[in-house]
């Protein structure tokens, strides 16, 4: 019974709804864009949200496995742990063994695949292409042979998945198309979420370096990576200001206000990039930036 409680506790960690905020932001904007362009088919909102939730949990579970094998999760020092980084620690904290992680990841990925196939078969076959692209990037974010986050490509994968792919998939299910204007709408959000990932890589710098996880913060160093975060935040704000050129209502420019918490995040991280408690304040500001962007953008679309 104790083992089962531990397994369920670990499952809760990889499925915890608060770790799905990035995908929720993309889903919100994608559905808001679809609602702006026509009536929603509410019966398809739930299956899409559930499918993304399954994929998110599956990615977390398989990521735990590969980060354990590389040793990066075990190498995170207690003083460098934060609510937003260091993994879910289900193996490090003994809630799962490696076999548990394999079974959980396999089960969650299988469920996500079934959900994606069902939506594709019953609603629009073109959903399958986006699902394969997003699922592939999510799985190979950690997994060999690509190991994107170990080779400096993880941030780009996150920008693509949490921007155009997730929100674009929601729009496609609702409207039966995925035009360029929708990809443009979602691109700034993807940049902000990639920036949030960059902020989350600061506390893990030493552990990632020791385990060969060569993300952009490791490759650039923490001091220079502050500039990377600021650049992503500024690019997202500029992108929001340009959205009316793609046919979106002028009110979408209000999403550029998210640059303000982005500046705060940059200042917190620049002040002490090696001090995890101060970096956590920057992580919170980076989280606020992409959530505020998604909320303002969605409101502008819904009330235009």
If you average pLDDT over every residue of the chain, what do you get? 96
- Geometric angle at alpha carbon 178, from 177 and 182, rounded to 5°: 130
Q: Which domain holds residue 31?
A: 2-302
- CA–CA separation, 174 vs 121, rounded Å? 14
Beta-carbon contacts of 135 under 8 Å, excluding residues fewer than 6 positions away, are 55, 109, 112, 113, 116
- pLDDT value, residue 152: 97
What's this model's pTM, rounded to 2 decimal places?
0.96
Model pLDDT for residues 132-181, shown as the tens digit of each residue: 999 999 999 999 999 999 999 999 999 999 999 999 999 999 999 999 99
Taking residues 33-62, what's their average pLDDT? 97
Looking at residue 103, which CATH number applies to its domain? Answer: 1.10.600
- CA–CA separation, 264 vs 77, rounded Å? 26
Look at the chain and report how many structural domains it folds into: 1
């Amino acid at each position: 019974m104790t083992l089962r409680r531990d397994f369920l506790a670990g499952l809760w960690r990889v499925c915890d709804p608060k770790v799905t905020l990035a995908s929720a932001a993309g889903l919100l904007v994608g559905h808001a864009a679809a609602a702006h362009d026509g009536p929603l088919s509410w019966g398809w909102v739930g299956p899409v949200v559930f499918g993304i939730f399954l994929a998110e949990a599956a990615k977390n579970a398989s990521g735990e496995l590969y980060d354990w094998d590389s040793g990066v999760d075990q190498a995170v020092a207690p003083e460098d742990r934060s609510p937003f980084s260091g993994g879910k620690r289900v193996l490090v904290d003994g809630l799962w063994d490696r076999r548990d992680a394999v079974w959980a990841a396999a089960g969650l990925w299988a469920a996500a695949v079934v959900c994606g196939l069902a939506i594709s078969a019953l609603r629009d076959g073109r959903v399958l292409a986006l699902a394969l692209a997003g699922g592939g990037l999510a799985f190979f974010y950690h997994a060999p042979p690509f190991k994107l986050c170990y080779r400096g490509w993880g941030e780009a994968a996150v920008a693509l998945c949490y921007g155009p792919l997730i929100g674009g998939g929601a729009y496609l299910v609702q409207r039966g198309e995925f035009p360029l204007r929708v990809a443009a709408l979602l691109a700034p959000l993807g940049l902000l979420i990639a920036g949030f990932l960059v902020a989350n890589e600061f506390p893990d710098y030493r552990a990632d370096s020791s385990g060969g996880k060569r993300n952009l913060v490791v490759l650039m160093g923490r001091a220079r990576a502050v500039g990377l975060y600021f650049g992503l935040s500024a690019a997202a704000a500029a992108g929001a200001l340009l959205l009316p050129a793609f046919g979106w209502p002028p009110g979408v420019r209000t999403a550029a206000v998210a640059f303000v918490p982005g500046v705060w995040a940059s200042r917190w991280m620049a002040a002490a990039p090696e001090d995890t408690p101060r970096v956590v304040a920057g992580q919170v500001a980076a989280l606020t930036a992409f959530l505020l962007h998604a909320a303002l953008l969605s409101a502008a679309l819904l009330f235009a």
